[in-house]
Amino acid sequence: MRFIHTSDWHLGRTLHNQSLLDEQAQMLETLLALIETHEVDALVIAGDIFDRSVPPAAAVSLLDAFLDKVIQQLKVSVIAIGGNHDGQERLAFGARQMARAGLYIQGPVSASISPVRVDGKHGAAFFYPIPYAEPALVRHLLEDESIQSHQDAMAALLSKVQAHNSNGLPKIVVSHCFLDGGSESDSERPLSIGGADKITPALFTPFDYAALGHLHGPQYKGAEHVRYSGSPLKYSFSEQHQNKSVTLVDMVPAKAPDIRLLPIKPQRDVRIIEGHLDTLLAQGAKDPGRDDYLMVRLLDTHAILEPMAKLRAVYPNVLHLERTGLMQERSMEGPGRERMQKSELTMFEDFFNQVQGESLSGPQKALMSDLIASLHREAGQ
């Protein structure tokens, strides 16, 4: 059995109000090529396929077209589960009809598990799709009052997987959860408040492979075969240094699975650049990645007129701007009203300088200073 494990596509997501649908379409093209090149038997998508329970219609069409190619053209089975971002009832519409074609979508969790046997060129295996579920739902479904936490719920569901007779075939669990010790990014939505969402990795180690979703950085916990594939795209600037990939897994009889990360190179990278405006503008001209989605941290300590427009003339996809220099400068100044006044006068001096091309004269500066002070008095500060 050879399969690709991926998760957290978040189709339909935006980054600082920029739609990422083009990037996502290009990512799916790359994934399609990898599926073909590596002749996999199955594709596993471990939740958060869509970014929200009601995704944009264009995201629905994108997924539909992709799955059709995987299933009808490449004849590769797909096992997919709902994550905490997905609207599971919507995702699962028609799932029982699609199963016949080799598309196994597990929507809401049910009291019984639904093992999926896939017979591939590289051998057979059982997949056990366990969608994201609130502990209260699992407690209700299994009629087991002792289920209080995510840990309890997962233990109860996995005991059913344990009990299933796979006739010696590898058991691959597909789940969307938060393993204790896992590294978070800024783009995952917490499963619950206060840490009650964490599950010990030891629950998954008895199985031949655990294909997990939720955390956006690729990582394993407890054992190498208990893995997060991570998202195939960067969904926050905190992920700028993550190498995004999908995970290629070969089940090897009587041995640990063979695992390789297949890099996904995005159309546009998501990264942070830092420096003074003039330097950044000069560098941009020869930066092959100037189309990337950028957060810019400006180190300049003076006010700048329309810095976003100036940056976007060179870097068209600047999504967010931080005036790092200005904030540091201000935090070094004296506290209270005096600092505010000085800072406002300084900013106006910078502004006047840029617009008029000359400095404020002495009388002009005095007038402006009086004006700012009187405004503060009027505001009662």
Instruction: Tell me how far, at minimum, the Cβ of 88 lies from a copy of itself, in Å.
Output: 8
Instruction: Tell me how far, at minimum, the Cβ of 245 lies from a copy of itself, in Å.
Output: 27
Instruction: Tell me how far, at minimum, the Cβ of 82 lies from a copy of itself, in Å.
Output: 12
CA pair distance 269, 361, nearest whole angstrom: 46
The smaller minimum CB distance to a copy of itself, of residues 22 and 278, is found at 22
Cα–Cα distances (Å) from 187 to 161, 176, 215, 241, 346, in that order, read 30, 15, 9, 14, 37
Answer yes or no: are the C-beta atoms of 351 and 304 closer than 8 Å.
no
3-class state of residue 89 by DSSP: helix
Structure-token match 């180190």, residue found: 299
The smaller minimum CB distance to a copy of itself, of residues 105 and 174, is found at 105
CB half-sphere exposure, 265, CA atoms < 13 A: 2
The smaller minimum CB distance to a copy of itself, of residues 58 and 256, is found at 58
The smaller minimum CB distance to a copy of itself, of residues 92 and 191, is found at 92
The residues that touch a copy of itself, with contacts defined as CB under 8 A, are: 53-54, 57-58, 60-61, 63-64, 67-68, 71-72, 87, 89-90, 92-98, 100-103, 105
Instruction: Tell me how far, at minimum, the Cβ of 203 lies from a copy of itself, in Å.
Output: 29
Instruction: Tell me how far, at minimum, the Cβ of 60 lies from a copy of itself, in Å.
Output: 5
The smaller minimum CB distance to a copy of itself, of residues 90 and 365, is found at 90
Instruction: Tell me how far, at minimum, the Cβ of 99 lies from a copy of itself, in Å.
Output: 8
Ramachandran bin of 151, using left for φ above 0, alpha for ψ from -120 to 50, beta for the remaining angles: alpha
| Terminal-to-terminal C-alpha distance of the chain | 71
The smaller minimum CB distance to a copy of itself, of residues 54 and 375, is found at 54
Q: Where are the alpha helices (DSSP H) in 261-378?
A: 277-284, 307-314, 324-332, 336-356, 362-378
